[in-house]
Amino acid sequence: MITQTITFILLIFLISKNVFAIDTKAEQAIVMDFDTNEILFEKNSNSKTPPASMTKIMTVYAAFDRLKNTDLSINNECTVSAKAYKMGGSRTFLEIDDKVSIDDLLKGIIIQSGNDASVALAECLAGTEEDFAKLMNVYAKRLGMNNTNFINSSGWPEDDHYSSVYDLAILSNAVIREFPNLYLYFADEEFTYNDIKQPNRNKLLSSVQGADGLKTGFTKASGWGIAATAKREDRRITVVINGTNSSRSRMNESANLINWAFSQTSQKELVSEGQVITQVDVWLGNKPRVNLISPRKVVSTLSFDQLQLIKSSIQYKKPLDAPILKGNSYGKLLISIEGKPNMEIDLVADEDVETINPILKIFAALKYLIFGSTLDE
């Protein structure tokens, strides 16, 4: 009995398209497919960098989690402290001692990027901004944001306050996935508070097809950045960049990456659930062969050049020893795609195969050894 490996071409796509490589002027960048979590492009994606106001995505995530899982309501009111009122930078123009609804604070944070609203919400939910930052870090650890540490709720420059574009992409996708109804706040294009109307700082909402979030950011240390996402038909792309040199460059670079992802990559089903991958001889079983199938659907997001040639191999023991149990793994399908981690899919039996009557075992064994075939052929 030996382990057999069969190499073959899984898929060959002959596509005559103008394939081009993508790059960006941003210092850090990442492009992710929302459904498959695959990275389509990255540049210094794990480098620690000041997240600036993209920090506020985590502030909002923490609030959304409280709204979803506790009795907290968007109609609850928070009192604006002196600390919140005195915050510089972008503001919602809250007044000291005002009582402001959670709803208005969320709009002030998301649409106007209000530093005052961020502090007011943090203090309302955790008592102090410092304690709220500790909560932010708990969420970050839970989400797997391994290159992130938050000191405040607004992104105000402080030592040891950092993240990475990869971590911010994880966070952005978590907001969309976990809070689909509350996520709609990010698509609002303007908000008026205290008779002051301010537009959403995310200009992609009106300039890129399907754009519906998330958040811009800027400090002198970080440059201009944005966590952005767009949905077209049933597909969503998330882009995070940081370190561009102007708001115009930020918009152009993020728009280019989104449009590239939609036009030059696509989701392909490589293997369907229940698909028969191979049929294997059975040793001393009441059935001569058993099908090995994929227990799950395998989808990958690929560029058109990657689609032209995908290699795969099957590994299994030949023949398989009876008894065989339906659903148990008896082999592996290995898929290799240039530029992506290798995929390994367990192959399971699609039915039970019992051992044969002991009296017949010796005849079956002799027949297999002499003729290389099973008893029932």
Residues counted in the chain:
377
User: Does the active-site annotation cover 56?
Assistant: yes
Of 43, 45, 53, 153, which is the active-site residue?
Answer: 53
**Strand bridging mode 211-219 / 223-232:** antiparallel
User: In 343-377, which positions are buried (b, 16+ CB within 10 angstroms) versus exposed (e)?
Assistant: bebebbbbebbebbeeeeeeebeebbeeeeebbee
User: Does the active-site annotation cover 361?
Assistant: no
**Distance (Å, rounded) from C-alpha 10 to C-alpha 334?**
10
**Distance (Å, rounded) from C-alpha 53 to C-alpha 43?**
21
| H helix count then E strand count, the chain | 10, 18
Of 43, 45, 56, 81, which is the active-site residue?
Answer: 56
Question: Which residues are within 8 A (CB) of 252 and not within 5 positions of it... i.e. 6 or more apart?
Answer: none
Under 8 Å between Cβ of 238 and 231: no
Dihedral (Cα; 200, 206, 208, 214), 10-degree rounding: 20
Of 45, 81, 90, 113, which is the active-site residue?
Answer: 113
Under 8 Å between Cβ of 60 and 160: no
Under 8 Å between Cβ of 199 and 183: no
Annotated active-site positions, please?
53, 56, 113
